Amino acid sequence: MVESASPRWLVLDGYEDEPAAFGVPPYVGFHIRYLCGVLEQAKIEYDYVTIDQWRDFIRVEGEDAASARLSNVSGVACIAGAVVPGRYLRGTPISLKETRNIIRQLPAQVPALFGGWAIRGWRQQGWNPLRSNLFLAVQDTDATLSNFLRSGQWKHCRRTAEEWTLWAQSGASSKAVTQHPDLGDEEKKGPLTYEVEVYQGCVRYKRGCKFCIEPKKGIPIWRTPEDIIEEVRLAHEAGVEHVRLGGMTDTYTYMAEGVQELEYPIPNPEPIARLLHGLREDERLGILHTDNGNPSIIAQHLEQSEEITKTLVETLSDGAVLSFGLESADPNVHEANWLNCDAKQLKSAIRLINKHGRGRGSRGLPNLLPGLNFIAGLNGESSATYDLNLNLLHEIRNEGLLLRRINIRQVEGEGFQDIVQKDFNSFKSSVRDNIDGPLLQELFPLGEKLCDVHWETHDGRTRLAAHQTEAHTSKDCHGKAGISFGRQIGAYPILIGVEYHIPLETQSDIIVTGHGARSITGVEINLNHTSVSQKQLEAIPGIGEKTAWKLVSQRAKNIRKNSPSGAYQSPQQWFDATDVDWNDNFAVFFE
């Protein structure tokens, strides 16, 4: 962690995590960049530190060092994004306890600004810290910081359109990017994915889904394609390769026509094409993915939506997902909650995306598929709701349509109704067993090659500090006993497990060899028969522990007898010499 000699502002990235605002590594969120952009514009010195770096600092140096560090800052600005941090692979958002600790350790005269959804959530739950010079932002944290730097006063503020562009662009090359631990360098590129804010709000702002906060933002405000392309260009200059277009409640209504007059505004294929092609023109762009889609808009305007879908397939990287918020297939729930889309519209939108998006791209993934979101706990729900949801999923599958992911979320508290746990659990397990399982096998069939898997953890699904040490990143660990977990870069990647260690923070290609509940297993291709380890051999389907041991012993004997230059010429020669039947299916795993 970078530490400054003279006091500077500390920008603490507590990670935001919203469906339309990814910010947990490998993503870098836009709100934290805007904060850095404010400081860049004001020419104020600052350090950017992620909450995981802060945790490591405390682990290594101790709480006293953290207090000393905090007593030497000019101010603290933090975005806290997840009210209850869930399970993450690569980084965990700041918790309320950690936030409290930081506030407690901070000297009273040091200004401190905390913003993000977690702050609002914790406040609603009754958190009310008393400390002078502490401000909890409920509007735009960046605009609030800017106002404080100018006036010395804390006040809830909103950014103007000009400030949005200014801070987005200066944030693009700020320390949130250049000092982000996932950026990597020329030699070893990191998986950093740059989340861009395309617009704010929802076209259903007049009568939106009752549980949603988007309509409260009023009429949607779009950023122009040129503004976004320029921001991403600056990010590329700073070393960014991968981008996700976030901040979109619906990709299809970006700059749509009739937003103020129509229930279903008309998608406008031109600006989104200008944006996507404009981004693709820059050869530095790697993976490009997008955000949500509104199936009712697609279904009501199939012609324009087809044009947009073709543009998406042409310009996005494979593995792209358009999340569709159906929430419920029950007409009663629809009526009670002013929901957006019915089952008929949904199926029509899913058919369109499948028609153009189900072909596979260069990394082995379907190009573009819909995801589907359900919410349990909405008013009007009954046991019949779950049957309707399940029937709809079966109808979709019976038509042979693909869904990349089905997300089932429970909501509770004020404004929602109690969930009958038995109904909910049985719905969930039916979906997992009868829908998700077969889908996973169809999306990632056995034998399919998946390219550029980025290896992130060993022996568990959470990245630990130790995983960044030589023992886990150097090529010497390749093939040793254990499990490696990795994902391809992009939105909603499938978790891939391999039954031996692969150096972390490297990438390789795999062949799918098995399916778990929500993950797959694989084995790398391009294994070298002169050095492949027993564990690597064991991971290949059809080679068990005993055979792998026999092969490795025979190879060692042969090398002892004939010196390394006498190693077997091919894997098949090696297998034959060991009296192990060669199977043509093995060939795909070897160089």
The site for ligand SF4 (CB under 6 A) is made up of 202, 204, 208-209, 212, 214-215, 249, 294, 325, 340
- Look at the chain and count its residues: 591
Provide CB contacts within 8 A for 222, sequence distance 6+: 198, 199, 254, 255, 271
Quick one: residue 137, left, alpha or beta (phi over 0 = left, psi -120 to 50 = alpha)? beta
Q: Which is nearer to ligand SF4, 81 or 293 (CB)?
A: 293
Q: Which is nearer to ligand SF4, 289 or 334 (CB)?
A: 334
Cα 8 to Cα 74: distance, rounded to the nearest angstrom: 5
DSSP per position, 283-336: TT---EE--EE-HHHHHHTHHHHHHHHHHHHHHSPTTEEEEEEEE-S-HHHHHH
| CB 478 to ligand SF4: min, Å | 45
3-state secondary structure of 232: helix
**Nearest approach, Cβ of 331 to ligand SF4 (angstroms)?**
16
Kindly state the smallest distance separating residue 244's Cβ from ligand SF4, in Å. Answer: 18
CB of 208 to ligand SF4, least distance (A): 3
Q: Distance of CA 302 to CAs 309, 352, 369, Å? A: 10, 8, 16
Sheet holding 8-14, edge to edge: 46-50, 8-14, 73-80, 112-115, 134-136
CB 239 within 8 A of CB 173: no
Partners of residue 86 on adjacent β-strands: none
Residue 499 beta carbon to ligand SF4: minimum distance, rounded to whole angstroms = 41
Indicate the residue among 340 and 385 with the shorter CB distance to ligand SF4: 340
* Both structure tokens of 488: 């391809």
What Rg do the C-alpha atoms of the chain give, in angstroms? 26
Shorter beta-carbon distance to ligand SF4: residue 492 or 582: 492
3 state DSSP class of 200:
strand
Dihedrals phi, psi of 113, to nearest 5 degrees:
-125, 125
Residue 544's CB is within 10 A of a number of other CB atoms, namely 12
The least distance separating ligand SF4 from the CB of residue 202, rounded to whole angstroms, comes to 3
Q: How far is the CB of 213 from ligand SF4 (least distance, A)?
A: 8
* Shortest Cβ 207–ligand SF4 spacing (Å): 9
What is the rounded distance in angstroms from the CA atom of residue 299 to the CA atom of residue 305? 8
Q: Please, what is the minimum distance in Å from the beta carbon of residue 201 to ligand SF4? A: 8
76 sits in the region (left: phi over 0; alpha: psi -120 to 50; else beta) called: beta
Closest CB to ligand SF4 among residues 121, 514: 121
Which is closer to ligand SF4, CB of 120 or CB of 277? 120
Residue nearer to ligand SF4 on the CB measure, 292 or 457: 292
Residue placing its CB nearer to ligand SF4 in the complex, 60 or 262: 262
Least separation, in Å, of the C-beta of 327 and ligand SF4? 7
* Closer residue to ligand SF4, CB minimum distance, 335 or 399: 335
Contacts of 201 (CB under 8 A, 6+ apart): 214, 215, 217, 218, 219, 220, 221, 249
322 with 371: CB under 8 angstroms? yes
Smaller CB separation from ligand SF4, 180 or 204:
204
CB of 301 to ligand SF4, least distance (A): 15
Instruction: Please identify, using beta-carbon distances, which residue of 291 and 499 lies nearer to ligand SF4.
Output: 291
